[in-house]
C-alpha cells in the first residue's frame, strides 16, 4: 500500500516539475523573440559542411530556447551547396533564407546599427576557415 502511494506522489511531483519547466521555457521564448540572433553565412562550394553547420545552429537554438535566423549568401557555388540548402530549408527548425551574393542587400554585408536593438548579427565568412568557429558546436582544425 505504501509503495503505491509513494509512486503516485512521485508521479504528481514529476508532473508538477515538468509543468514548471515548460512554463519557464515558454516565458523565456516570448522574451527572446524580440532579441534574435541572426547568423549571416557567406559560402562558396561548402556542400560537404553546410548540412552540419545548419543542423548545429538548429540544435543550438533548440537547446537554448532561442530564436535564430540564418541567412546564406552563396557566392556562385559549383557543388551541391545550393541543393543541400534548399532541402534543409524545409527540414531545419531555424528561419533560413538563401540568396545569391550579388543579389544580397548591402545591409546584410555589413553590420547594421539600426538592427542592433532587435537582433544580434553574427557574420561568418566560411571562405575563411577560422570563421566557422563562430558557429556553436563547430570546431575547426587547421
Full pLDDT tens readout for the chain, 142 residues: 778 899 999 999 999 999 888 887 777 655 554 557 889 988 888 888 888 888 889 888 888 878 888 998 888 888 888 888 888 888 877 888 888 877 666 556 555 555 555 668 888 888 888 888 888 877 776 6
Whole-structure pTM value: 0.66
The C-alpha cell that represents 70 in the structure block: 540564418
The C-alpha cell that represents 140 in the structure block: 575547426
Q: Which residues contact 119 (CB under 8 A, 6 or more apart)?
A: 35, 36, 37, 38, 69
The C-alpha cell that represents 11 in the structure block: 508521479
- Please, which residues bridge with residue 125 across strands? 42
Amino acid at each position: 500500500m505504501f509503495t503505491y502511494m509513494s509512486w503516485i506522489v512521485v508521479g504528481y511531483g514529476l508532473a508538477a516539475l515538468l509543468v514548471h519547466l515548460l512554463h519557464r521555457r515558454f516565458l523565456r521564448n516570448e522574451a527572446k523573440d524580440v532579441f534574435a540572433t541572426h547568423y549571416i553565412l557567406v559560402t562558396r562550394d561548402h556542400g560537404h559542411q553546410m548540412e552540419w553547420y545548419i543542423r548545429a545552429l538548429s540544435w543550438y537554438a533548440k537547446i537554448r530556447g532561442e530564436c535564430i535566423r540564418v541567412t546564406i549568401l552563396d557566392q556562385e557555388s559549383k557543388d551541391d551547396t545550393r541543393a543541400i540548402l534548399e532541402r534543409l530549408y524545409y527540414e531545419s527548425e531555424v528561419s533560413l533564407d538563401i540568396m545569391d551574393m550579388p543579389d544580397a542587400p548591402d545591409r546584410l554585408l555589413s553590420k547594421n546599427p539600426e538592427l542592433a536593438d532587435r537582433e544580434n548579427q553574427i557574420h561568418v565568412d566560411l571562405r575563411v576557415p577560422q570563421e566557422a568557429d563562430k558557429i556553436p558546436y563547430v570546431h575547426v582544425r587547421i
